[in-house]
Structure 1
Amino acid sequence: MKFNYYLLFVFFSYFSLCANAQEARTALIPRPASLQVQQGELDLTKERTPIYQMEEFSQVASLLLEIPGFQAGPTETIKKIKKNQQQGIRLYKASDADKIDPNGYSLLIDESGIILKAHKPEGMINGIYSLVQLSYLNGLNQLPYLTIVDKPRFAYRGMHLDVSRHFMPFPFLKKYIDLLAFYKFNYFHWHLTDGAGWRLEINRYPELTQKAAWRTHSSWKDWWNNGRQYVDQGSPNASGGFYTQAEARELVAYAAQKGITIIPEIEMPGHSEEVLAVYPELSCTGKPYTQGEFCLGNPESYTFLKNVLEEVLAIFPSPYIHIGGDEAEKKHWKNCAKCQELMKKEGLKSEEELQSYAIQQMDKYLQSKGRKLIGWDEILQGGLSAGATVMSWRGEQGGIDAANAGHDVIMTPGGYLYFDGYQSDPRTQPESIGGYLPIEKVYSYNPVPAAIANDKKKHILGAQANVWTEYIPTYQQVEYMAFPRALALSEVVWTAQEARSWPDFHTRLQAHYPILQQLQVNYYRPSYTVSHQVKFDSVSMKNTVAFHSEQFYPQIRYTVDGSEPSISSSLYSLPVELSKSAVLKAASFLNEAKVSPTEVVELDVHKAIGKTVIYKNKWEGYPAQEARTLTNGIKGGLTYNDGQWQGFIRNFDVIVDFERREEIQSVALNFMQLPGPGVYFPGEYTVLISDNGKNYREIGTVKNQESRTDPTLKFHKFEVKLPKPVMARYIQIKATNPMKGYLFADEIVVY
């Protein structure tokens, strides 16, 4: 009998779709510790469902009303489980026999209804939100029979929002809280003050909201580049805003109902330009608009800060109060008689120790009020008191040092958890502050570095993502930058490390895009843009090119002859291997339409690969692969942090030694430009040659023609092509740095 492969294909395709549909019904994010599905399903729409709640959970049972379309029946508060509670939704306190983690919960859905168990309200809240998620995943209320036993990996699961650089409307803050609760975050770090605007009403200092909350330009970038002035509330150009104490209390209560603690941040001693513009007597100079750091030798600075914190503490019951402590410029303290006098009196040997002294004063004040101080990792400089908690943002080293020294730490490194950076090809995205952080990299993060001693790992409380708003002017843009990356972080901080898998998460994520649409979140849509990865084998001199996009089932077509891809071009399925120079082009297609820009990949198997590079001016800050970088056959990608772009602050000046005379026809080098973080193309690119390494002659110069004001990411190949070949052993390449920023170079290509 002839076997019908087509029918077999149809059968397995159908089976796969059915399996995926089943998995989508339980595609919770973050992934539970244990989930078992049974046969059957519960329909909550047939009739009004009774609710039985133990006294411990009477304040959180109302969260059940977030189940879409749910019709709650009679609600009864009970002291113990009774036989007549055989139907409906039951919120029970866990017993030791239930074997539920102290911070966890269990969820049972069967023919009798729903039973949620937890030891504490916090655990019950998370159980309820698992139930709410399930209702969205299952056509609202057709819930599969299942059993979940779950617990969080970390006690601190945080998201941050800066409302100083751009003020966000109060109703949006509630929506933000809703989304954080939905994905089991339990801390909201509210960055309320910074140089761009003071955002919290302080009754004792009315000018903080009458003037320091208002600036001349609505756009932070425009304000930053045009005088950085503040204006009185009500003036024609006033842009900004503030939250009243009543609004702040309302938000605190709203968040607490959903299991979220709000941590306020009041910046000190730096990032305080707005304060010192209206209270200049607290600065070292005594003049407005001269510095952003409080005068630490002036007792009135401490009085002001304690008075402000007194009102803050009355609003926010959070055990933690964030005082910033980062990026303080210390030159004013060095030249201030009051600061120097205090240093002499207290035996402080440096301005770092002076800052540490000031932070310790605030720490003592907060501890006297029963609170704990949190600050960015700069607070480690000069010593830190025992009760303070460190947020490690400048990479992980600050967190490693703090944890090994016995301090509690919240990990928030910029390379993994700064959601103000680009999440896709920057050339296709709205202007951002820089960096490149796709969702897969967020998901790859493990908040417990290996460099922390085993007995100190308990000091890693968890992790937090930060949303700084210099380039995020609206709440819609906040949503775009935070979601769905926040979903990846929610699993990082909730699910055990060994239970996490990117392919599994990526599959479940597909079921949450419709939910985000229902919740009217302006999330970042997965891009059709094609990206590539090239692996070069220096032994076989072979390139292997892999294409991918953010689509779950991408349809990518490509060419290897430099022609534009079309619907008839090769369909990408496996990496492409080539042992020669070539130009590959690829694009995404949907149905028969091209739906992405063309991705161009230039493969260069060239003469300089593996040759020695002599640095006349060495790299600074970005070593990449050190001396092997510029001739390793590998080009840089979309970010200067990818380990292939080498960074230079001085003029670029290197020599390639071919060890013998070679025929030279062209010399090229790629540079990157991204003005936001100070990355620019060179002014001039010059190539010189020599036979003896001493006497060089110039063979060509290329001047930059690209704009330096365009904020978008750009790449440019600077190339000197000769009309006819020349012979040389040494090639010297120079590139000037007129902008005094960073020059980033990736690969010297010689033919």
Structure 2
Amino acid sequence: MKKIKNVILSVCCGVFVMACSGGAKEVRKADYNIVPLPNEIRTAEGNPFLLSKETKIVFPAGNDKMKRNAEFLAEFLEASTGVKIRITSEQPDKNAIVLSLDAPDENSEAYRLQVDEKFIRIDGASEAGVFYGIQTLRKATPVGERISVAYDPVVINDAPRFGYRGMMLDVARHFEPVEFVKRFVDMLALHNINTFHWHLTEDQGWRIEIKAYPKLTTVGSQRAQTVIGKNTGEYDGKPHGGFYTQEEIKDIVAYAAERYITIIPEIDLPGHMLAALASYPELGCTGGPYEVAQTWGVFDDVLCPGKDSTFIFLEGVLSEVIELFPSKYIHIGGDECPKVRWEQCPLCQARIKELGLKDDAQHTAEHYLQSYVTARVEKFLNDRGRSIIGWDEILEGELAPNATVMSWRGMEGGTRAAQMGHDVIMTPTSHCYFDFYQAEDTGNEPFAIGGFLPVEKVYSFEPVPGILTDEQKKHILGAQANLWTEYVPNAEHVEYMAMPRIAAMSEVQWTQPEKKNYADFHKRLLGLISIYDQQGYHYARHIFDIKTEMKPDFEKNALSVTFSTIDNAPVYYTLDGAEPTEASTRYDGPLFVSADAQLKAAAIRPSGKNSRTFSTEVQVNEATFKPVVLLTDPEPNYASSGAEILVDGLQAVNTNFHSGKWIGFQENDLVLTIDLLQPKTISSAELSNMIQTGDWIFDVSQIIVESSRDGKTFSPAGNWKNDTEEKAPRGEMLTHTVTFDPVEARYFKITVKPSIIPVWHDGRGKRAFLFADEILLK
């Protein structure tokens, strides 16, 4: 993994200097435009409230939660300003921050923050509401050692959009110590997140002490070694393990509760149970031997529902779990459970017969057997006052009567569950998986599972599908970000993957959609970044790099390039591959590139905190920047910017098919026409594509080139067929060239056909995905 560096960017706040006894002192102004954005900010007339060492924080006498809130506020303000403030339950006549429970709102997390010259008042509908008002004051306060802060008069009325605002951390793939889990909880609190989904069990490790089953931790919490990379067959040779004692869990649960965060534990069942099977092999269909997984993925060995001892085990585990976690919900996973062993297991087949389960047009009897497991576990928990959450696979078969669905494989599962009257938490991979890369330049990023999820895409997430009725929309409880840790081995990396994307998610969860604006959020994020710096968080700095928009301008026959930065820093660029300096050309508007170029650009700041250099190569051929029309539809999730991506002069630099640099087809062939605007003599066509067999992406099977003078009648020009048979998994980028006798024409039609997946692959016999980038005519 590349070393992650946390570079502090200087953030300027409003500053003014006032005279006082003993000389001048610096006073900085608070900024209420924070993240997440409050619902209502009304400025008022009058003089500002001045924070100083004489200020007091007042809390209601006899309320321990409010006293802890007051202590939190004092700690936050001291950390930000260096000013140590005393807390008290006695009401001063001025110069006080007063905490109370006087906000008249049905939403228990609502608060009102009022500022005038004498007082700052934070009124909450509950202690939790006061806590969120405190977080708003904390984030409005500029960071730095200074004497005083000026808070202009204001009235802020605020409450969250969703009652469930979640973040999941997987500590099963890579264990994190108690100290970091608490630090992670503090990070959630800073972002107004009220639910910590704690993924505690996996094939690669069992992380929670269960006293009735001690081998779960003596055996199941340890793996002998870990695969290097993505199941490369090479291993690091280093044992990895760790678990939380029940006392440690109680401590963390209490720590989170002080910050009004509920911890929901996940015990993934009946799949993802190799660590449990290694500990108690009698719980599997074959009896083993099993080992704690050293690789990543989905494994055929799962719990055996044909054995009564399996349910005794599950009830024993869950009995101890509910004693440790007071949360309403217990997450039982339910995802990625292969049925291979059940199909061959006599006991499972006997259970299927006993229950009268049958195959139907939608599902096999084994799918209904998993539904039986889910329903039986749900009844056990319901009888003890708890409810279950499961990943959207629990929709396959019969959904347990009272289950809440966590929709991760897109929005469709959650939509269907809401239409069925079930509660839903939306967490689709497309917008919520923080183990995805957050930059296109993956070569300069810490290793990740793949994908591409920048801050802007997280911010664009809308958790409530528009097709739902008003009544069905009430079943969308909220949204959650997930951080899986197969490729996130340490705390520093966790923070890097979470921040600042978690800031974008917090605004999705908290702020009403009509008030969201990404450009405004981008500017407000600077204040939150100053707290990241003050806390020493290892956050990703991509927001300080140049934001680049590039698209072909078909009227100018050139690539239109637009640069911008979060703080309007000056940008300098070169076209010959030289590193940009202040002596280079300064960007002052859209740049048009019409010939081959090696474009580089950098934001150069007076502080010396410069951006990383943006670099791209522009390669021009006869098809580049020419009008192009797709005659077939790409897969909706992989449409990118449409046909223009194929003639923009920009070659994809890696096989990250989520990056927006590739366009994908499966059901349809790729068929397009290119208008060269005038007749040209062409003798070859090239196509850039990729292979990623693990993702069902295979090489193309055929490329057909046709030409036309009028754009209506096309004649064959060239035809290339792929005679190479894929015999093993691989991944790479390719270029195929179709050569033919020179033909003079204005219009060219290109047809590209996907392959059929070979027999050795899980998708055997189906049409493969085809991912294409650039088409060249020469």
TM-score normalised per structure 2: 0.80
Could you tell me which residue of structure 1 aligns to residue 393 of structure 2?
378
Distance 1:397-1:656 versus aligned 2 partners, 3 A rule: closer
Corresponding position: 1:52 with 2:59 = yes
Could you tell me which residue of structure 1 aligns to residue 177 of structure 2?
169
SS of 2:542's equivalent? coil
Could you tell me which residue of structure 2 aligns to residue 601 of structure 1?
618
By how many angstroms is 1:502 displaced? 1.1
Matched to 2:602, the amino acid is S
The superposition leaves residues 653-694 of structure 1 with CA deviations (integer Å, 9 ceiling, x where unpaired) of 87878999973233222234779x658785999888899999
Could you tell me which residue of structure 2 aligns to residue 748 of structure 1?
775
Bigger Cα displacement from structure 2, 687-696 vs 103-112? 687-696
By how many angstroms is 1:715 displaced? 5.9
Corresponding position: 1:553 with 2:561 = no
By how many angstroms is 1:355 displaced? 1.2
Matched to 2:149, the amino acid is Q
Within 5 A, what are the aligned runs for 1:196-275?
A: 196-217=204-225, 219=226, 221=228, 224-226=231-233, 237-275=238-276
Q: Is the 8 A contact 1:324 1:376 kept in 2?
A: yes
Matched to 1:73, the amino acid is R
By how many angstroms is 1:721 displaced? 7.3
1:492 to 508, 512, 518: 508
The superposition leaves residues 65-117 of structure 1 with CA deviations (integer Å, 9 ceiling, x where unpaired) of 3221454436338xxxx8x7665332222164xx6854301122333333221
Could you tell me which residue of structure 2 aligns to residue 184 of structure 1?
192
Q: Is the 8 A contact 2:671 2:751 kept in 1?
A: yes
SS of 2:474's equivalent? helix
1:585 to 599, 602, 605: 599
The superposition leaves residues 244-266 of structure 1 with CA deviations (integer Å, 9 ceiling, x where unpaired) of 11111000000000110001000
Bigger Cα displacement from structure 2, 300-309 vs 585-594? 585-594
SS of 1:748's equivalent? strand
Q: In the aligned structure 1, how far is the partner of 2:36 from the partner of 2:138?
A: 13
Within 5 A, what are the aligned runs for 1:97-176?
A: 101-137=107-143, 142-145=149-152, 146-176=154-184
Corresponding position: 1:393 with 2:393 = no
Corresponding position: 1:306 with 2:318 = no
Q: In the aligned structure 2, how far is the partner of 1:132 from the partner of 1:631?
A: 48
Q: Is the 8 A contact 1:533 1:546 kept in 2?
A: yes
The superposition leaves residues 40-83 of structure 1 with CA deviations (integer Å, 9 ceiling, x where unpaired) of 34344333625231545345433223221454436338xxxx8x
SS of 1:91's equivalent? strand
Could you tell me which residue of structure 2 aligns to residue 8 of structure 1?
none
The superposition leaves residues 317-369 of structure 1 with CA deviations (integer Å, 9 ceiling, x where unpaired) of 01111111111111222222222222222222222211111111111111111
Matched to 2:252, the amino acid is L
Matched to 2:306, the amino acid is G
RMSD over aligned Cα, in angstroms? 4.3
Within 5 A, what are the aligned runs for 1:327-338?
A: 327-338=336-347
Could you tell me which residue of structure 2 aligns to residue 233 of structure 1?
none
Corresponding position: 1:461 with 2:477 = yes
Matched to 1:397, the amino acid is E
Matched to 1:121, the amino acid is E
Could you tell me which residue of structure 2 aligns to residue 7 of structure 1?
none
Q: Is the 8 A contact 1:631 1:747 kept in 2?
A: yes
By how many angstroms is 1:138 displaced? 7.4
1:363 to 353, 378, 384: 378
Matched to 1:599, the amino acid is T
Could you tell me which residue of structure 1 aligns to residue 6 of structure 2?
none
Q: Is the 8 A contact 2:452 2:659 kept in 1?
A: no
Q: In the aligned structure 2, how far is the partner of 1:362 from the partner of 1:324?
A: 12
Distance 1:687-1:505 versus aligned 2 partners, 3 A rule: same
Q: In the aligned structure 1, how far is the partner of 2:649 from the partner of 2:776?
A: 10
Could you tell me which residue of structure 2 aligns to residue 671 of structure 1?
689
1:294 to 284, 292, 303: 303
Q: In the aligned structure 2, how far is the partner of 1:302 from the partner of 1:45?
A: 61
1:75 to 72, 76, 88: 88
Structure 1 stretches lacking a partner, 5+ long: 1-13, 230-235
Structure 2 stretches lacking a partner, 5+ long: 1-11, 17-26, 291-298, 359-364, 762-767
Percent of matched pairs sharing the same residue? 36
Could you tell me which residue of structure 2 aligns to residue 232 of structure 1?
none
Equivalent pairs counted in the alignment come to 710
Bigger Cα displacement from structure 2, 160-169 vs 40-49? 40-49
Q: In the aligned structure 2, how far is the partner of 1:180 from the partner of 1:655?
A: 47
Q: Is the 8 A contact 1:665 1:726 kept in 2?
A: yes
Could you tell me which residue of structure 2 aligns to residue 6 of structure 1?
none
Could you tell me which residue of structure 2 aligns to residue 402 of structure 1?
417
Matched to 1:107, the amino acid is L
Bigger Cα displacement from structure 2, 689-698 vs 661-670? 689-698
Q: In the aligned structure 2, how far is the partner of 1:220 from the partner of 1:611?
A: 45
Could you tell me which residue of structure 2 aligns to residue 25 of structure 1?
31
Could you tell me which residue of structure 2 aligns to residue 284 of structure 1?
285
SS of 1:466's equivalent? strand
Matched to 2:383, the amino acid is S
The superposition leaves residues 141-192 of structure 1 with CA deviations (integer Å, 9 ceiling, x where unpaired) of 5140433221111101111110011111210111111111122110111110
Distance 1:564-1:672 versus aligned 2 partners, 3 A rule: farther
Bigger Cα displacement from structure 2, 208-217 vs 253-262? 208-217
Q: In the aligned structure 1, how far is the partner of 2:571 from the partner of 2:250?
A: 52
Bigger Cα displacement from structure 2, 305-314 vs 294-303? 294-303
By how many angstroms is 1:435 displaced? 0.8
Q: In the aligned structure 1, how far is the partner of 2:401 from the partner of 2:753?
A: 51
Distance 1:635-1:338 versus aligned 2 partners, 3 A rule: farther
1:470 to 441, 465, 486: 486
Q: Is the 8 A contact 1:546 1:576 kept in 2?
A: yes
Distance 1:41-1:721 versus aligned 2 partners, 3 A rule: farther
Matched to 1:450, the amino acid is G
SS of 1:510's equivalent? helix
SS of 1:250's equivalent? helix
By how many angstroms is 1:490 displaced? 1.1
The superposition leaves residues 201-257 of structure 1 with CA deviations (integer Å, 9 ceiling, x where unpaired) of 11111111111111122x45469555999xxxxxx9531111111111000000000
Matched to 2:40, the amino acid is S
Within 5 A, what are the aligned runs for 1:657-736?
A: 663-672=681-690, 678=695, 682=699, 718-719=736-737, 725=742
Q: Is the 8 A contact 1:609 1:631 kept in 2?
A: no
Q: Is the 8 A contact 1:556 1:587 kept in 2?
A: yes
Distance 1:502-1:131 versus aligned 2 partners, 3 A rule: same
Corresponding position: 1:413 with 2:428 = yes
SS of 2:619's equivalent? strand
Q: Is the 8 A contact 2:580 2:601 kept in 1?
A: yes
SS of 2:286's equivalent? coil
Q: In the aligned structure 2, how far is the partner of 1:607 from the partner of 1:497?
A: 39
Could you tell me which residue of structure 2 aligns to residue 64 of structure 1?
73
Distance 1:483-1:674 versus aligned 2 partners, 3 A rule: farther
Matched to 2:385, the amino acid is G
By how many angstroms is 1:379 displaced? 0.9
Matched to 2:379, the amino acid is K
Bigger Cα displacement from structure 2, 87-96 vs 624-633? 624-633
Could you tell me which residue of structure 1 aligns to residue 21 of structure 2?
none
Could you tell me which residue of structure 1 aligns to residue 765 of structure 2?
none
Could you tell me which residue of structure 1 aligns to residue 19 of structure 2?
none
Distance 1:725-1:596 versus aligned 2 partners, 3 A rule: same
Q: In the aligned structure 2, how far is the partner of 1:150 from the partner of 1:215?
A: 47
Distance 1:589-1:496 versus aligned 2 partners, 3 A rule: closer
